[in-house]
Amino acid sequence: MKIKFEVKKIKDIKADAVSSFVFEDQVDQKLHWLNTLFKGGLDVLIESKDFKGTANEVFITYVNGESKTKRLMTAGLGNSKEITLEKLRNAYAAAAKKFNSLKLTSVGFELPDLTAVKGIVNYSIADIVQAICEGVFLSQYSFKRYIEKNEFVPLDEIVFFTDSPKYTKEISDTLKNVKIISDAVFVARDLGNEPSNMLTPNKFAEHVKKLSMKANYTVSIFDEKKIKQLNMGGIIGVSQGSDNPPRFLILQYFGSSKSEKPVVLVGKGVTFDSGGISIKPSVGMENMKMDMCGAAAVVGAFEAISRLHLKLNVIGLIPAVENMPSGTAIKPGDVLKSYSGTTMEVANTDAEGRVILADALDYAANYKPKAVFDIATLTGAAVITFGNLIAGIMGTDDNMKKKLFDAGEKTNERVWELPLYADYEKLMKSEVADIRNIGPAGRGAGTILGGIFLKKFASDKYPWVHIDIAGTAMVPAEPAEYISKDATGFGVRLFVETLKNL
Ligand code: BES
Ligand code: ZN
Ligand code: ZN
């Protein structure tokens, strides 16, 4: 994909189609201005009043361009007084997808009056341009690698343009950064969508290793033998029912002096979650190939932050396992011992994510981290609570929670806090081990209890926040114009923005 930025008038842009973005309350002025530029080409459109400028509205007309007749898209932004970064993402994504549907691959996107937008959204020019480009780039995703003929033809040559020479530097710099971030989101989406036979824990590890060699971070892979030696009993226990052995990945990125304490990102990497002996119902089980979306978000974050050269140190920890039922699988009631020696009663083998994260959270303490974020498709209850739009967060550090929240508002990868009151702890008491992996049947609070379990391992060893992305990382339908169904890559942009501000 070729991407350019040009300071030019819309009529001088050379592309198969160009788009002009119009606020609903400024339709008349804007169309007349375009009409003058295109020497009366919009007479019929203006007369018909068919284009209103409402949010995500797109309309194609034909005008006389520089060398040949070309397509002009008018695209609606809604009311100018209500514009937000998210509305920009959606409007630009809707325009991009309209071009896709017409199989046009060389296209131009007009940038709106950035100063006017800035007057409303309270974010910088770079943030506004970022949202616009994210809308375009992120809308271009499709996972069709196992289909012979892909109907979807992504944009190939994109030019963003404005006729104002203001902000040229901000715009060009932002373009490069957004391409990096969007590619990283695609890496996470691809990992999530990849079928589990193609992405076992070992293949996952090898793939991430390959990715790292093209970027600026390193990956160490612990195999089953090493994991056993380290006494990571949660990972060994969960994976022992599968013929595909577990892996433990350590990603390292140094963007600051080695002596500076790192931030640790922990991602749940269950490459398939059948539930194990506590087996899941068949309907929808195929979606559990995406139960490694937490791990995918961590990998995506490393892809982005290492290419953006963020000035901090980051460690990624990924326990990768397959959760299967078999003669060798763990059974309900079994007791496992985590890396730090805490015993866990596995009353339900389907609550496996927290059991493998226990080892990783224990292990994170070795880095004396300045903060630890874990991200996981942890509980079905998070889908009940938040649907597919918001991730649940819980944790021990108000400052980190606030940073995540603000990053969520900006990126629209939104998070909302649930409480970890100590009263919930007794629900996770076990009679045979230090903690039980589920609460009492039928008493609710599933997402919070997941957080309570993890807190036992994060304890007060470091500032910690848990992110439950069960609802947002894997979705049955498009939650926005620029987010495809299935694996969304949720967490990548949230992490990049959070880490940028640490
Ligand atoms: N991977 C699932 C959670 C999940 C469910 C993610 C639906 C995305 C969509 C997790 O391992 C799981 O099965 N959790 C159980 C926990 C329960 C047994 C306490 C759940 O949520 O039902
Ligand atoms: Zn499960
Ligand atoms: Zn799971």
* CATH number, domain with residue 127: 3.40.220.10
Does ligand 1 lie within 6 Å of residue 447's CB atom?
Answer: no
Distance of CA 151 from the midpoint of ligand 3 (Å) = 33
Instruction: Sheet with 69-76: list strands edge to edge.
Output: 2-7, 157-162, 106-110, 17-22, 69-76, 58-64
pLDDT digits (tens, 9 = 90+) for 194-230: 999 999 999 999 999 999 999 999 999 999 999 999 9
- Please say which residue of 162, 195, 229 terminates a domain: 162
Q: Tell whether 173 is covered by a domain.
A: no
Scored b (16 or more CB within 10 A) or e, 386-421 reads: bebebbbbbbbbeebbebbbebbbbbbbbbeebebe
The structural domain count of the chain equals 2
Query: Do 220 and 116 have their domain in common?
Result: no
Query: Do 360 and 271 have their domain in common?
Result: yes
Q: How confident is the model at residue 66 (pLDDT cuts 50, 70, 90)?
A: low
Phi (first) and psi of residue 58, to 5 degrees: -135, 145
How far apart CA 391 and CA 377 sit, in angstroms, is 10
Query: Do 85 and 205 have their domain in common?
Result: no
pLDDT digits (tens, 9 = 90+) for 421-438: 999 999 999 999 999 999
Q: Tell whether 428 is covered by a domain.
A: yes
Query: Do 142 and 209 have their domain in common?
Result: no
How far apart CA 318 and CA 3 sit, in angstroms, is 34
Query: Do 108 and 201 have their domain in common?
Result: no
Does ligand 1 lie within 6 Å of residue 383's CB atom?
Answer: yes
Distance of CA 17 from the midpoint of ligand 1 (Å) = 46
Closest ligand to the CA of 450: 1
pLDDT at 95: 98
Q: How confident is the model at residue 403 (pLDDT cuts 50, 70, 90)?
A: very high
The per-residue DSSP string of 186-218 comes to: HHHHHHHHS-TTT--HHHHHHHHHHHHHHTT-E
pLDDT at 318: 99
Does ligand 1 lie within 6 Å of residue 446's CB atom?
Answer: yes
pLDDT digits (tens, 9 = 90+) for 177-189: 999 999 999 999 9
Query: Do 116 and 226 have their domain in common?
Result: no
**Mean pLDDT across the chain, nearest whole number?**
97
Domain at 493, CATH number: 3.40.630.10
pLDDT at 399: 98
Distance of CA 347 from the midpoint of ligand 2 (Å) = 12
Q: Which domain holds residue 484?
A: 186-500
Query: Do 210 and 151 have their domain in common?
Result: no
How far apart CA 488 and CA 387 sit, in angstroms, is 14
Q: Tell whether 96 is covered by a domain.
A: yes
Q: Tell whether 168 is covered by a domain.
A: no
Query: Do 288 and 157 have their domain in common?
Result: no
Phi (first) and psi of residue 64, to 5 degrees: -85, 115
- Please say which residue of 97, 128, 162 terminates a domain: 162
- Asked which of 38-42, 186-190, 235-239, 399-403 is least confident by mean pLDDT, the reply is 38-42
Q: Tell whether 105 is covered by a domain.
A: yes
Query: Do 95 and 212 have their domain in common?
Result: no
- Decide if pLDDT at 67 tops 60: no
Helix (H, G, I), strand (E, B) or coil at 26: helix
* Ligand 1 nearest atom to the CA of residue 275, by list position: 13
Does ligand 1 lie within 6 Å of residue 293's CB atom?
Answer: no
pTM flag (> 0.85): yes
* Ligand 1 nearest atom to the CA of residue 280, by list position: 13
Does ligand 1 lie within 6 Å of residue 190's CB atom?
Answer: no
Average pLDDT score over residue span 406-413: 98
Average pLDDT score over residue span 466-490: 98
pLDDT at 305: 98
CB 191 within 8 A of CB 211: no
Q: Which residues are catalytic?
A: 280, 354
Query: Do 335 and 483 have their domain in common?
Result: yes
Average pLDDT score over residue span 324-349: 98
How far apart CA 443 and CA 307 sit, in angstroms, is 46
Does ligand 1 lie within 6 Å of residue 347's CB atom?
Answer: no
Q: Tell whether 209 is covered by a domain.
A: yes
Distance of CA 278 from the midpoint of ligand 3 (Å) = 12
Query: Do 291 and 211 have their domain in common?
Result: yes
Tokens matching residue 236: 């060994």
Distance of CA 380 from the midpoint of ligand 1 (Å) = 5
Query: Do 153 and 285 have their domain in common?
Result: no
- Decide if pLDDT at 460 tops 90: no
Sign of CA dihedral 434, 461, 361, 281: positive
Residue among 287, 344, 350, 375 to mutate when testing ligand 1 (max atoms within 8 A of CB): 350
How far apart CA 420 and CA 116 sit, in angstroms, is 43
Q: How confident is the model at residue 69 (pLDDT cuts 50, 70, 90)?
A: low
Q: Tell whether 181 is covered by a domain.
A: no
- Decide if pLDDT at 484 tops 90: yes
How far apart CA 351 and CA 379 sit, in angstroms, is 8
Strand spans (E) along 65-141: 69-76, 106-110
pLDDT at 212: 98
Q: Tell whether 172 is covered by a domain.
A: no
Q: What percent of the chain has pLDDT over 90?
A: 97
Inter-axis angle of helices 168-193 and 293-308, nearest 10: 150
How far apart CA 279 and CA 50 sit, in angstroms, is 55
Indicate left, alpha or beta for 102 from its phi (over 0: left) and psi (-120 to 50: alpha).
Answer: alpha
Q: How confident is the model at residue 65 (pLDDT cuts 50, 70, 90)?
A: low
